[in-house]
Amino acid sequence: MFRTIRKLTKPSLFWKIFLWFWLATLLTLTSIIFLYSITSKDTRLVPTTVEESELLRQTAITVQLRHVIEEYQNGLPIQPSGTSKELDNTFIINNQGYEISDKEVPDVIYQLRAYYKQRNRPATVTINNYSYSGPEIVFSRGQYYLLFIKKKSQQHFSTLVTEFYHSISIWHLLTALGISFLVCFALAWYLTRPIHQLQKATKALAKGNLDARAKDYVGKRGDEFFDLAEDFDLMADRINRIIMSQKRLLSDVSHELRSPLTRMQIAASLAQKNSHPECATHIDRIELEVERLDQLIGELLQVAALERGNQYGDPDIFVVNDLLDVIISDAQFEATANNKEVLLQESPTISFKGFYNLLGRSIENVIRNAIRHTPDGTKIVVQLKDAGRYFNIVITDQGQGIDEDHLNKIFEPFYRPTEARERSSGGTGLGLTIAKRGVEVNGGSIKAENAESGGLQVTMTLPKTVI
């Protein structure tokens, strides 16, 4: 769960594209509404503000104090502009719908009047940089009159927001936000999806799957991502050809070296029989080095076969405990000669379906590597552990261990991490490489770590049912 949360909160390209598109959409909509509010000639009725309502009441009081309506009722001519500048921008409508001073009444006044009749509340409308507010009810001699005011208006942003807020419902706003969210989400997903697909192809290639191709993940898009996938596949094809060429070269060279080495061994044996005693030591040395070369070539051939995907026959069902008994029994001869011991701890019985010889060679290589690098008088402990759907084969020596930076590299061919594991300890540098390939062919994995008690601990993890 926490991994999912971290993945969602990670500043990924998807969320960056989505948020920028959404922000751009919202800014565009806001700009359109803002420009529309400034340039539109249409009226937009909104409820009056507190300030506007107070101004209407004050104007109504002024009208009553100056007896403007009484003069109209008495038949006297009404000239508000002549009586007070405060009444220059007022409109007083009688119950017949006429302005009592015979001023020209804009149509918007009648819109406000109709709005009042429908909603029973005053409103404000802004048009041509003027705002009209009203009505305020003024009573005189048993009759009512509607008072409206007009004033210069600056299109402040707050006014535009107010007009926008009252011109649409909350459901319209949520619908617009929801649609923009879905559109931007779909667009961001469309743009980033091929990147994630390319990432899958690169990860597959990085894990050693040389047959991984980006076009298998991207599909036929016909855009720049498809061109990028084609370039990636060309690169993958080139890498595959180079690696396969190197593997074939390694295999061919190893095969070609086998014949002269065999002849050298025969020649050394014949020379040993007919040699002078002083030369016997040198001939023995030649035979030893030829044997080492033959062992190296044999392991090179095995690595090449594993790299090409060659396996040994069909998988068999066998008991892992019996395989460990055979391997440890053989390894004990080598360990005893060097005052060392290989112990198999009591373990549960586990059956496995896989390649018997290949797994056996992997386990043997790890044990022999441990024998070479554990001090005299110590022991190598082998454990077989049940781990649910998997089982672990754990091999621990009592040597010096390996620096943490080198733990993931010791399974690479010819890699020698420390002076403690130099050539003088023997071996070709391919034993752990063969062990890793053998475990992987059987559907498992292998890792190395420094044991808490000291020494190196190698763990092979295998599924109880081969994938």
Measured CA to CA, the distance from residue 142 to residue 255 in angstroms comes to 123
- The answer to whether residue 326 scores a pLDDT higher than 80 is yes
| Per-residue pLDDT reduced to its tens digit, 46-93 | 788 888 888 888 888 888 877 788 877 777 766 544 445 556 788 888
Q: Are strands 341-344 and 379-387 parallel, antiparallel or unpaired?
A: parallel
Can 45-164 and 312-463 be said to share one CATH topology?
no
Measured CA to CA, the distance from residue 288 to residue 416 in angstroms comes to 22
| Per-residue pLDDT reduced to its tens digit, 115-143 | 888 888 888 887 777 888 888 888 888 88
User: Can you tell me the mean pLDDT for 277-283?
Assistant: 70
Return the top range by mean pLDDT from 5-14, 24-33, 223-232, 414-423. 223-232
| Per-residue pLDDT reduced to its tens digit, 426-438 | 555 677 888 888 8
Query: Would you state the pLDDT for residue 2?
Result: 46
- The answer to whether residue 460 scores a pLDDT higher than 90 is yes
Query: Would you state the pLDDT for residue 186?
Result: 78
48: phi then psi, degrees, rounded to nearest 5: -70, 150
15: phi then psi, degrees, rounded to nearest 5: -70, -35
392, 459 contact by CB (below 8 A): yes
| Percent over 90 (pLDDT), the chain | 4
Distance of CA 252 to the CA centre of its chain: 43
CA 456 to each of CA 206, 329, 423, 460: distance values in angstroms, whole numbers, following the listed order: 27, 21, 18, 13
Measured CA to CA, the distance from residue 227 to residue 442 in angstroms comes to 37
Query: Would you state the pLDDT for residue 41?
Result: 45
Task: Tell me the pTM.
Answer: 0.48
| Identity of residue 461 | T
- Which CATH number does 45-164 carry? 3.30.450.160
Measured CA to CA, the distance from residue 284 to residue 370 in angstroms comes to 28
Query: Residue 393 forms beta bridges with which residues?
Result: 384, 460
- pLDDT bin (cut points 50, 70, 90) of residue 302 is low
401 DSSP 8-state letter:
-
User: Can you tell me the mean pLDDT for 184-188?
Assistant: 77
User: Can you tell me the mean pLDDT for 349-368?
Assistant: 87
- The answer to whether residue 416 scores a pLDDT higher than 90 is no
Mean pLDDT across the chain: 76
Query: Would you state the pLDDT for residue 131?
Result: 84
Higher pLDDT, 241 or 318: 318
User: Can you tell me the mean pLDDT for 22-32?
Assistant: 74
Write a three-state SS string for 267-315. Answer: HHHHHHHHCCHHHHHHHHHHHHHHHHHHHHHHHHHHHHHHHCCCCCCCC
3-state SS class at 383: strand
Query: Would you state the pLDDT for residue 38?
Result: 54
**Close Cβ partners of 240 (under 8 Å, ≥ 6 residues apart):** 210, 211
Query: Would you state the pLDDT for residue 330?
Result: 84
Return the top range by mean pLDDT from 189-193, 304-308, 340-344. 340-344
Instruction: Calculate Rg over the CA atoms of the chain.
Output: 46
- pLDDT bin (cut points 50, 70, 90) of residue 259 is low
| Identity of residue 235 | M
User: Can you tell me the mean pLDDT for 227-250?
Assistant: 79
What are the tokens at 283?
């001939």
CATH fold for domain 242-306: Helix Hairpins (1.10.287)
Query: Would you state the pLDDT for residue 348?
Result: 87
- The answer to whether residue 18 scores a pLDDT higher than 80 is no
Measured CA to CA, the distance from residue 246 to residue 239 in angstroms comes to 11
Superfamily of domain 312-463 in the CATH hierarchy: Histidine kinase-like ATPase, C-terminal domain (3.30.565.10)
Question: Which residue's structure tokens are 């949360």?
Answer: 5
Neighbouring C-beta atoms of residue 23, cutoff 10 Å: 11
Q: Long-range contacts made by residues 330-338, C-beta under 8 angstroms, separation at least 24?
A: 330/364, 331/364, 331/367, 331/368, 331/371, 334/368, 334/371, 335/371, 335/380, 338/371, 338/376
283, 268 contact by CB (below 8 A): yes
459, 393 contact by CB (below 8 A): yes
- The answer to whether residue 202 scores a pLDDT higher than 50 is yes
Return the top range by mean pLDDT from 19-28, 34-43, 364-373. 364-373
Higher pLDDT, 53 or 419: 53
Write a three-state SS string for 253-265. Answer: HHHHHHHHHHHHH
72, 141 contact by CB (below 8 A): no
Query: Would you state the pLDDT for residue 233?
Result: 84
116, 104 contact by CB (below 8 A): no
How do the domains of the chain map onto residue ranges? 1-39+171-186, 45-164, 242-306, 312-463
